[in-house]
Copies of this chain bind each other. A is one copy, B any other.
Amino acid sequence: MTRAWAVGLDMGGTNIRCAAVSVAGDVLLIEHGPSLTSRQAGAVAENIAAQTIHVLATARRRGLGSPRAIGVAVPGPLNVYTGTVMQAPHVAAWRGYPLRNRLEALIGRKVVVENDANAWALGEYWRGAARGRCDVVLLTLGTGVGGGLIVVGKLVHGRSGMAGELGHVTVNPNGPRCDCGSYGCLESYASASGLRGLIEDRLGLPPSTPLPPQMLDSEKNFSVRALSAQARRGDKLALEAFATAGHYLGIAIASFINTFNPELVVLGGGVAAALPYMRKTMTAQVRARAFTAMAAQAKIVRAALGPRGGVVGAAYAALHPPTRS
């Protein structure tokens, strides 16, 4: 007997994860490959298609047969109805790029595309921290900040599927410039790039000056994990940076609570792993700014699925494709 399943693919800044996910949400097989985001628009899509085709072949070889559906999660706001990526932080060449059409032509099957943070929200809703919860706000605190909103058990897509850019709500109108072009977005604080900026600012370093070596990984890149290790050792600069990130994260969460009256706020991504160093300032702002009755109902928890959230959610999106009202 063949188990019914779907492909879930999640393209990150450096890696692609591609999985066969059963209709019950179990990962049956998962493969990893490079993301090749710096290439031309078409080459990035060809790489996604090649890794999908590879998983299709592996699945067939293992007796899983054909999938019911194929879901692909990518960064950046995209129109889920037309399958067009408006802009993607790591793929400069994707501006109004018809990703779904291109993937369908390359793979020879229907494809559903979804924003990566939205996919993660669906994954947490299906099999993670938000299982059985109907009104959920998910924030992915990674290199940038993404978001996914679930209202009465459905992802909020908005007019064209670009809703949920929760990293780009203003938390400080006079704050630092954000990659999106605005100022003082949540992403300017509670992301890896935001933390890096806070430290540069604190040290008075001009951008792209090397940071202190204890904040870098083995490849000399700024590392939230290294910064967390510093905070664990009691380093004042690291603790202050996390406290500031937590402060603005709390301001944003308070606004989301007053807006959505969620039962759960789920925090995922590398920066969420540093929650112990952000929780005090975050909680203080939520208490000061959210309506008490709503704040009392909104638990703030870590995501449960980790890096598999995206593939599980992409498969869910494929199995429950968005329908325009």
Bound form: Cα–Cα A325–B173 in Å: 36
> A262 in the interface, Cβ–Cβ < 8 Å?
yes
Specify which of B181, B288, B291 is in contact with A86 (CB 8 Å cutoff).
B291
Q: With A165-B259, A259-B149 in contact, do A77 and B156 touch (Cβ < 8 Å)?
A: no
Which of B149, B154, B258 touches A169 (beta carbons < 8 Å)?
B258
- When distances are taken between beta carbons in the complex, the residues of chain B under 8 Å from A151 are 151, 156, 158
A114 sits at the interface (CB 8 A) = no
Number of interface residues of A (CB under 8 A): 50
Chain B contacts of A288 at CB under 8 A? 181-183
The answer on a CB contact under 8 Å between A291 and B173 is: no
Interface of chain A, main secondary structure: loop
Contact B86 A182, beta carbon cutoff 8 Å: no
What's the Cα separation between A164 and B258 when bound, in Å?
7
B-facing residues in A264-305 (Cβ within 8 Å): 288-289, 291, 293-294, 297-298
Q: Taking the complex as formed, is A171 at the interface, i.e. its CB lies under 8 A from any CB of chain B?
A: yes
Chain B residue numbers with a CB within 8 Å of A86 are 291, 293
Asked if A251 CB lies within 8 Å of chain B CBs, one says yes
> Would you call A172 an interface residue if the criterion is a C-beta within 8 Å of the partner chain's C-beta atoms?
yes
A261 neighbours in B (Cβ, 8 Å): 157-164
CB pair A135–B158 under 8 Å, yes or no, is yes
Contact A163 B260 (CB under 8 A): yes
Q: Chain B residues near A160 (CB, 8 Å)?
A: 261, 293-294, 297
11 further A-B contacts with Cβ under 8 Å, apart from A152-B325, A158-B260, are: A77-B294, A134-B159, A158-B262, A159-B298, A160-B261, A162-B261, A163-B259, A164-B259, A165-B258, A168-B289, A170-B171
